[in-house]
Amino acid sequence: MSMEFEEGSLVDFYHVGTIDYKGQWYFFFQPSEPTGDIDPAELVVFRVEREGKDETLFPVKDEETLSELYDVFLKESGDADEPKPCKNCSRCGGCDKAEEKRTDN
pLDDT digits (tens, 9 = 90+) for 10-33: 888 899 999 999 999 999 999 888
pLDDT per position as a tens digit, 84-95: 445 545 445 545
* Dist. CA 91–CA 101, nearest whole Å: 6
At 102 the pLDDT is 42
In percent, the amount of the chain with pLDDT more than 90 equals 37
Residues 79 and 93 sit within 8 Å (Cβ to Cβ)? no
At 63 the pLDDT is 93
Smallest CA-to-CA distance from 29 within 75, 71, 60 is with 60
From residue 10, give the alpha-carbon distance in Å to each of 35, 36, 61, 104.
10, 12, 20, 47
Q: How many domains does the chain have?
A: 1
State the CB neighbour count (10 A cutoff) for residue 73: 20
* Overall pTM > 0.85: no
Which range of residues forms the domain containing residue 69?
2-104
Does the pLDDT value for residue 48 go beyond 80? yes
Rg of the chain on CA atoms, in Å: 17
* Dist. CA 59–CA 44, nearest whole Å: 8
Segment (H or E) for 64: helix 63-77
**Poorest-pLDDT segment among 28-32, 42-46, 100-104:** 100-104
With bands split at pLDDT 50, 70 and 90, how would you rate the model's confidence at 105? Answer: very low
More confident: 100 or 33: 33
Arithmetic mean of pLDDT over the chain = 77
